Chain A
């Protein structure tokens, strides 16, 4: 009975499972190769990608080719210079980022008088600011999720807390007070509290860290899935408080669903005396450079923390909680520190974002944002700061502008009329699923995480934290 045999085979091994196993099969083959063969396969695949990109646009192909070539070139750097290798790529990226406002124009990037247009999609400076803000939040979440291994599905609560801190102390929300301190461009008779946004960033970070500790103390006794669900709950609670906080016993704390607006924008004073012209220090450029500095500080702190005693304790807890306790690592205190630090960066990012948008609304803080930031961490590579920054920039760019731009240029080329941004969550879903299938450790994985995904994790909780 060949037909029955065929049906049984089909049921046992249906087409979708065969297809789902397809990337895995190639990975198995790849793993069977030796180093030299892997190198050759790598070169061929990269060459094919570059050739494919030429059809889209030669500048993009050139850019990608250069990025591909850098690691190969670095392998030939003479020994004494080796230790500078790890600074090369960050420096290149940093130089590109700092000079971006000079080469960017509305139509694309200008170089040598020509306008390069890749895919019709360059981030505007406004988009770059938002990418930076998300990068900060993702780096903050990475401390909680990537370093300490605590799944937090309510990170948006910290973002909200930071935003509202900026809103309270730099707007006309509390109009019966009249406190001014260092705010740029606010008249002395404007009602409300107006404190310099740079002080508020720190204040928002500290406030949010305190909230993080308060949320953390009861919840961090839980493990794994339970922790994730409780954090999810807190992520919903805080925006609800904001939504309903317009009448707390007669006191208007959050202005309810109408949100708080306008918030003072980040103040930079008048820098034009440096250059004597009004075209160099435009507010957009300043906002962008401002967030760039904040991202650099965040990344620096995050890297230093990772290599500190606290960072080693986080990684130990992620690796094996019981063993960590046996080494004398105080579990609750260490986890709470992870939470507070992650919250701090979330709060700073939220405050800058609110100030940049000059508004904050409870509707901004939905669960989507928590999931979105977590996706950035997963896509970039949990535990690796550079990966997380890349993942955050990429997804934030797509969300803010990229999908619309790419859709536009797609429609122009093929004469279609697709509304691409409408499918955003489908597209992010595909990106995340593809990441999980093809590269579960993320774009730039941390060495430890990578090992984890390839060996599988044997985690058997033996006891729960007490007192």
Chain B
């Protein structure tokens, strides 16, 4: 712990007026977000609102041009992706992005790449067991090539792989995308379960209804800005949110 950086706070992650660009296009026009210890926070919004870009700013794939990102009180605005993973932010990226020609087990093991105790067989096996108990189906398929799994199973691998990194904060990008309804329910159950074991989660979702159900707080993004920020329950009651994102007619 460097003395200068440690700011006492109950926020594990703070984004302060973050502006991120793709070339000359301003994708995030100053976003401020907080994630507290132990909670699930969701970002909802339409396509192109900047949800995924926010995650990419956090995990270092697209560094913000202005603004600050702090993780556990320390500035990670310009840290490199592997550094950020090493500090404890793991993610299940958009579109799952498994290693298709590696087996399920190999994929899960890749999740431990930056862990300090990766050579400790016992620790790794404990985490494997934890992932298998969350997703029993994966233990049946551990020797199967990840590319041959169904969409729902691939999503399980992607989340499991992120969990293998022993994250202090989990980023989930569209975990329900392209899944059958039964899998969507299952995935959200799992999200709740992971969170109940103490891992804070930042969840990006298009399925606003489900997302607001599991989250304690939510942010509504519109064209690169935070349009609304509130408790998840209150957002669900909000008329605008209802109309635009929840598809509830009066």
A residues adjacent to B (C-beta < 8 A): 309, 312-313, 315-316, 319-320, 322-323, 325-331, 448, 451-452, 455, 458, 462-463, 466-467
B145 contacts A451, C-beta separation under 8 Å: yes
- The prevalent SS among residues of B at the interface is loop
- CB interface residues, B 90-107, toward A, < 8 Å: 91, 93, 97-102, 106
The answer to whether residues A322 and B97 also contact, given A327-B111, A327-B113 and a CB cut-off of 8 A, is yes
Binds A, one of B59-67, B191-199, B209-217: B59-67
Q: How far is the CA of A315 from the CA of B80 in the complex (A)?
A: 21
Listed by A's residue number, 24 A-B pairs whose Cβ atoms lie within 8 Å are A309-B113, A312-B106, A315-B99, A315-B102, A316-B110, A319-B99, A319-B100, A320-B100, A322-B97, A323-B99, A325-B61, A326-B59, A326-B61, A326-B85, A326-B97, A327-B114, A327-B165, A328-B114, A330-B81, A331-B82, A448-B101, A452-B101, A463-B61, A467-B78
Asked whether any CB of chain A lies closer than 8 Å to the CB of B37, the reply is no
Of B61, B78, B114, B161, which contacts A322 at CB under 8 A? Answer: B61
Nearest 5 interchain pairs by C-beta: A328-B85, A328-B114, A323-B97, A330-B82, A319-B99
Q: Which residues of chain B come closer than 8 Å to A458, judged between CB atoms?
A: 100
Closest to B87 in A: A328
A466 contacts B98, C-beta separation under 8 Å: no
Q: Which residues of chain B come closer than 8 Å to A451, judged between CB atoms?
A: 101, 145, 147
Asked whether any CB of chain A lies closer than 8 Å to the CB of B56, the reply is yes
Of A319, A327, A329, A448, which contacts B161 at CB under 8 A? Answer: A327
Asked whether any CB of chain A lies closer than 8 Å to the CB of B34, the reply is no
Q: How far is the CA of A463 from the CA of B81 in the complex (A)?
A: 12
B81 contacts A325, C-beta separation under 8 Å: yes
Q: Which of A331, A462, A463 has the largest count of B CB atoms less than 10 A from its CB?
A: A462
Asked whether any CB of chain A lies closer than 8 Å to the CB of B86, the reply is yes
Q: Which residues of chain B come closer than 8 Å to A467, judged between CB atoms?
A: 63, 78, 80
Of B78, B109, B147, which contacts A455 at CB under 8 A? Answer: B147
Of B101, B113, B118, B147, which contacts A329 at CB under 8 A? Answer: B113
Q: Which of B82, B86, B109 has the largest count of A CB atoms less than 10 A from its CB?
A: B82
Interface size class of B (residues with CB under 8 A): 20 to 34
Given contacts A327-B114, A448-B102, A455-B147, 16 further A-B contacts (CB under 8 A): A309-B118, A319-B100, A320-B97, A322-B61, A325-B61, A326-B85, A326-B97, A327-B110, A327-B113, A327-B165, A328-B81, A328-B85, A329-B114, A451-B101, A455-B100, A467-B80
Q: How far is the CB of A29 from chain B (nearest CB, A)?
A: 23
Q: Which residues of chain A come closer than 8 Å to B84, judged between CB atoms?
A: 328
Q: How far is the CA of A307 from the CA of B161 in the complex (A)?
A: 20
Of A319, A328, A448, A452, which contacts B113 at CB under 8 A? Answer: A328
Q: How far is the CA of A395 from the CA of B25 in the complex (A)?
A: 51
B99 contacts A320, C-beta separation under 8 Å: yes
B82 contacts A328, C-beta separation under 8 Å: yes
Q: Which residues of chain B come closer than 8 Å to A462, judged between CB atoms?
A: 61
Q: Which residues of chain B come closer than 8 Å to A328, judged between CB atoms?
A: 81-82, 84-86, 113-114, 165
B85 contacts A319, C-beta separation under 8 Å: no
Q: Which residues of chain A come closer than 8 Å to B80, judged between CB atoms?
A: 330, 467
Q: How far is the CB of A204 from chain B (nearest CB, A)?
A: 32
Closest to B110 in A: A327
Q: How far is the CB of A448 from chain B (nearest CB, A)?
A: 4
Q: How far is the CB of A94 from chain B (nearest CB, A)?
A: 30
B99 contacts A325, C-beta separation under 8 Å: no
Q: How far is the CA of A329 from the CA of B115 in the complex (A)?
A: 11
Q: How far is the CB of B202 from chain A (nearest CB, A)?
A: 14
Q: How far is the CA of A467 from the CA of B62 in the complex (A)?
A: 11
Q: How far is the CA of A154 from the CA of B157 in the complex (A)?
A: 38
Q: How far is the CB of B48 from chain A (nearest CB, A)?
A: 15
Q: How far is the CA of A66 from the CA of B128 in the complex (A)?
A: 45
Q: Which residues of chain B come closer than 8 Å to A331, judged between CB atoms?
A: 81-82
Q: How far is the CA of A27 from the CA of B245 in the complex (A)?
A: 50
Q: How far is the CB of B50 from chain A (nearest CB, A)?
A: 15
Q: How far is the CA of A119 from the CA of B84 in the complex (A)?
A: 61
Of A316, A319, A329, A463, which contacts B82 at CB under 8 A? Answer: A329
Q: How far is the CA of A327 from the CA of B106 in the complex (A)?
A: 12
Closest to B89 in A: A328
Q: How far is the CA of A315 from the CA of B102 in the complex (A)?
A: 9
A312 contacts B82, C-beta separation under 8 Å: no
Q: How far is the CA of A330 from the CA of B80 in the complex (A)?
A: 8
Closest to B52 in A: A462
Q: How far is the CB of A363 from chain B (nearest CB, A)?
A: 41
Q: How far is the CB of A445 from chain B (nearest CB, A)?
A: 12
Q: How far is the CA of A258 from the CA of B81 in the complex (A)?
A: 49
Q: How far is the CA of A326 from the CA of B84 in the complex (A)?
A: 9
A325 contacts B100, C-beta separation under 8 Å: no
Q: How far is the CA of A452 from the CA of B101 in the complex (A)?
A: 7
B93 contacts A319, C-beta separation under 8 Å: no
Q: How far is the CA of A312 from the CA of B86 in the complex (A)?
A: 17
Q: Which residues of chain B come closer than 8 Å to A315, judged between CB atoms?
A: 99, 102
Q: Which of B80, B84, B86 has the largest count of A CB atoms less than 10 A from its CB?
A: B80
Q: Which residues of chain A come closer than 8 Å to B100, judged between CB atoms?
A: 319-320, 455, 458
Q: How far is the CA of A316 from the CA of B109 in the complex (A)?
A: 11
The answer to whether residues A326 and B98 also contact, given A316-B110, A451-B145, A463-B62 and a CB cut-off of 8 A, is no
Q: How far is the CB of B172 from chain A (nearest CB, A)?
A: 12
Q: Which residues of chain B come closer than 8 Å to A326, judged between CB atoms?
A: 59, 61, 81, 85, 91, 93, 97
Q: Which of A309, A320, A323, A331 has the largest count of B CB atoms less than 10 A from its CB?
A: A323
Q: How far is the CA of A320 from the CA of B84 in the complex (A)?
A: 19
Q: How far is the CA of A452 from the CA of B93 in the complex (A)?
A: 22
Q: How far is the CA of A455 from the CA of B86 in the complex (A)?
A: 33
Q: Which of B91, B106, B109, B110 has the largest count of A CB atoms less than 10 A from its CB?
A: B110
Q: How far is the CB of A327 from chain B (nearest CB, A)?
A: 5
Q: How far is the CB of B58 from chain A (nearest CB, A)?
A: 12
Q: Which of A309, A313, A327, A455 has the largest count of B CB atoms less than 10 A from its CB?
A: A327
Closest to A458 in B: B100
The answer to whether residues A323 and B93 also contact, given A328-B85, A328-B114, A467-B80 and a CB cut-off of 8 A, is yes
Q: Which residues of chain A come closer than 8 Å to B106, judged between CB atoms?
A: 312
